[in-house]
Structure 1
Amino acid sequence: MLQFTFLGTSSGVPSLTRNVSGLAVRHSKNKDWILIDAGEGTQHRIQQTHLTLQNLKAICITHVHGDHCYGLLGLLASAGMNGRKDTLTLIAPKEIQAWLASSMQLTELYLPYEIHFIDVATINAPIQINPELTISAHTLHHRVASYAFAIEVIQQQKKLNVDALNALSIPKGKLWGDLQQGKNIEWNGETLQAQDFVEITTQQVKAIVSGDNDQPELLHQACENADLLIHESTYTQETLEKVGANPMHSSAKMVAEFSESVNLPNLILTHFSPRYHDAKEIALLEQEAKHSYTGQLFMAEDLKVFELDALGQLKAV
């Protein structure tokens, strides 16, 4: 139901193997997708995927630090140069709107499409992106205002009661199709109600994508009934204690302990300090998390894709 493509998994600065923050989220029923954060170089990463800027429905910026937003302007400009006409929703701190307006004026940037800006601080109810997908925001704790985004898909699946149809000898074809669409039909002089032949099941998944945050416990309520948490894991606990509280980031241990406390089934760690970008160092973060977390754990990599199915099961693809 939801597909996640990591466009950048480094914190602060890019490295040879990891770009700075960017995550594409696509509802697998269609080509529409959402971008969460747009660090410098995000549009280059997008070009390495099957995603297009024409199908981008919304951009969510978790906070104003450059490794999460410096790629926004170039991406918006490229969308316009590629002929985009549809309105694009931008959910972000109000400072992003001011920065965008100033940059457009000073660099003579013209966008041939409208940007519908939503100040993330004012969100008090889920925002409907399409008929089945909503986004809500949750406040975090960082050096600047930072937010997590909860992405939820609720979709209904209609299934014909084939046994009941066959029992009445109703032939396949238009009559079955009409019932599937909720239309009543006439058969042997009787009106058959569609609701008597269609079984409706509701499928629902929920993922939380966090911005920078040194208090994972702030997501306790957001993670209720969540199938997946994607959270920064900038340091090991040992390194975090050495660098001190000023950076206001989380360690792998902190996120793992929180995830275990709320019985979260799936966890993806990302936003790794450049000191951990080789396989041996990433393994240290992974081992630290596994010591405290018994659910399914993944370590994010640039261009790695994950799918969350209707049963809430996560897999790498």
Structure 2
Amino acid sequence: MMKLTFLGTSSGTPTRHRNVSGLAVQTVLGADWVLIDCGEGTQHRVLQTPLSLNDLAAVCITHVHGDHCYGLPGLLASAGMNKRTKPLKLIAPLPVWQWFEATRALTDLHLPYEVEHVNLDGPSLVYEVPGVCIESHALLHRVPSHAYRVQVETRRVRLKADALRAIGLPPGPAWRALQTGEDVPFNGDVLRSADYTDAQVEAVAAVMGGDNAEPALLRDACKSAQLLVHEATFTQDALDKVGPGPMHSSARLLAEFAQAVEVPNLILTHFSARHQNEEGMAALMAETQACYSGHAFLANDLDVYELDGAGHVTVTRA
């Protein structure tokens, strides 16, 4: 029901194998997709995927720090040069919008489509189309930072075929009409669609966090969610040495929270360069598994994770 493609998993600066933050979210409901964060070089990663900038419906920026937004002007400019014309929503804190507007003015950037800013100081529901809604949730960082909860809902309508056969209505156009919600005349009566169909609704939710020193702020966001994607910039030992100044999370802090709220799937990302070797990644995973009994993953650039209607996660490694 939901597909996540990691376009960047490094904290602060890109490294040889990891770009800075970017995450593409697709659903089963169509070609439209949403980008969460857009660090420098994100558009280069997009070129390595089947994603099209013409299908990009919204960009959600978690906060104004450059490793989460410096790729935005270039990506939007490329979309325009590729003949995009349909409007785009930019869901972001006000400083991101102010910076983008200044960049657009000072670099003579003319886009052939409208960019609509959705500020994050109002209601938490920031994006809604049939079957998909996105809520924002405030986090704790050196600047205002947010997480996004994405919920996808599908509705399948099944005909009560045995009941229709029992009254003598053969398969055909009338069956299709009933399945799409139309009432159908039959033998001087009217067959109500609601009487001859069953609707099955499936819903899944994933929470994608920005930089955050306090995972517990996502307690409400994680209710009934099947997946949490969150930064784990440091191991706990490294965070203790760095101190509270950067206002990031450790793998242990994150794992303890995920265990407490019983979220069944956890993807760690936004790794400090100091941990981006075999030993460092093993330490992050060991720290996570010591505190968390669910399904834990360490994201790599261009990994694709799929969340199905039953809440199960599968991964295709790049």
TM-score by length of 1: 0.97
Question: In structure 1, what is the Cα distance between the partners aligned to 2:108 and 2:49?
Answer: 29
1:239-250 aligned at under 5 Å gives the runs 239-250=238-249
Q: How far did 1:170 drift? A: 2.1
Q: Does 1:290 align with 2:289?
A: yes
Match of 1:59 in 2: 59
The aligned counterpart of 1:226 is 225
| Cα distance in structure 1, aligned partners of 2:277 and 2:31 | 33
CA distance in 1, matches of 2:39, 2:238: 24
How large is the Cα RMSD of the aligned pairs?
1.1
For the 8 Å contact 2:138–2:145, the answer to whether it is kept is yes
CA distance in 1, matches of 2:166, 2:9: 56
Deviation at 1:29, TM superposition (A): 2.3
1:4 is aligned to 4
- Matches of 1:209 and 1:87, distance apart in 2: 24
In 1: Cα distance, 2:163 partner to 2:16 partner: 60
- Work out whether 1:198 is the aligned partner of 2:197: yes
Given the alignment of the two structures, is residue 117 of structure 1 paired with residue 117 of structure 2, yes or no? yes
Question: Which residue identity does 2:95 align to in structure 1?
Answer: E
Identity, % of aligned positions: 48
- For residues 61-100 of structure 1, the C-alpha deviation after alignment (integer angstroms, 9 at most, x for no partner) is 0001110000001001001110011110001111111111
Runs of 4+ in 1 over 6 A off after TM superposition: none
The aligned residue for residue 299 of structure 2 is 300
Aligned residue number for residue 135 of structure 1: 134
Return 5+ residue gaps in structure 2 as ranges: none
Residue-pair matches, total: 316
Distance 2:190 2:143 in 1: 63
**What secondary structure does 1:177 align onto?**
helix
Q: 1:128 to 1:143 in 2, by over 3 A?
A: closer
- Note the 1:12-31 alignment, pairs <5 A: 12-31=12-31
- How far the C-alpha of 1:190 sits from its partner, in A, is 2.7
Q: Which residue in 2 is equivalent to 1:209?
A: 208
Write the distance in 1 (CA, Å) between the matches of 2:279 and 2:164.
60
Cα deviation, residue 279, structure 1 = 2.8
SS class of match (1:120):
coil
Gap regions ≥5 residues in structure 1: none
CA contact (8 A) 1:234 1:270 kept: yes
Structure 1 position 28, deviation (Å): 1.9
